[in-house]
Amino acid sequence: MELLLKIDKKGRITIPSEIRRKLKIKDLVRLRIAENKLILEPVKNPLHELTLLVVDSEGDIEKDIKIFRKRAEEEIKKIVRK
């Protein structure tokens, strides 16, 4: 599939909803530059993934949520820095 997308004045593009659904893109993507090309890759939101673990666990849920939230924030920061 190939599309011609317009870049707005702020340098943004809009990924059509059909493509976002097909690639399961939610709210986080990784942008890489390789061989003079832009490559966008969907990334699972670590906070959402960790929330699923908390829901299935037993014990001190509030403490677990704080730990998982901190880990998720750290992972997101690592992803954004790349």
pLDDT 10s digits, 17-49:
999 999 888 888 888 899 999 999 888 777 776
Q: Is the pTM of this model over 0.85?
A: no
* pLDDT greater than 90 at residue 52: no
The pLDDT score that the predictor gives to residue 54 is 64
Domain with CATH 2.10.260.10 in the chain: 1-42
- Average pLDDT, integer, range 40-62: 72
Quickly name the fold that domain 1-42 has.
Pemi-like Protein 1; Chain: D (2.10.260)
**7: which residues sit within 8 A by CB, 6+ positions away?**
13
Distances (CA, A) of 38 to 5, 56, 61, 63: 13, 38, 41, 40
For tokens 């690639």, the residue is 23
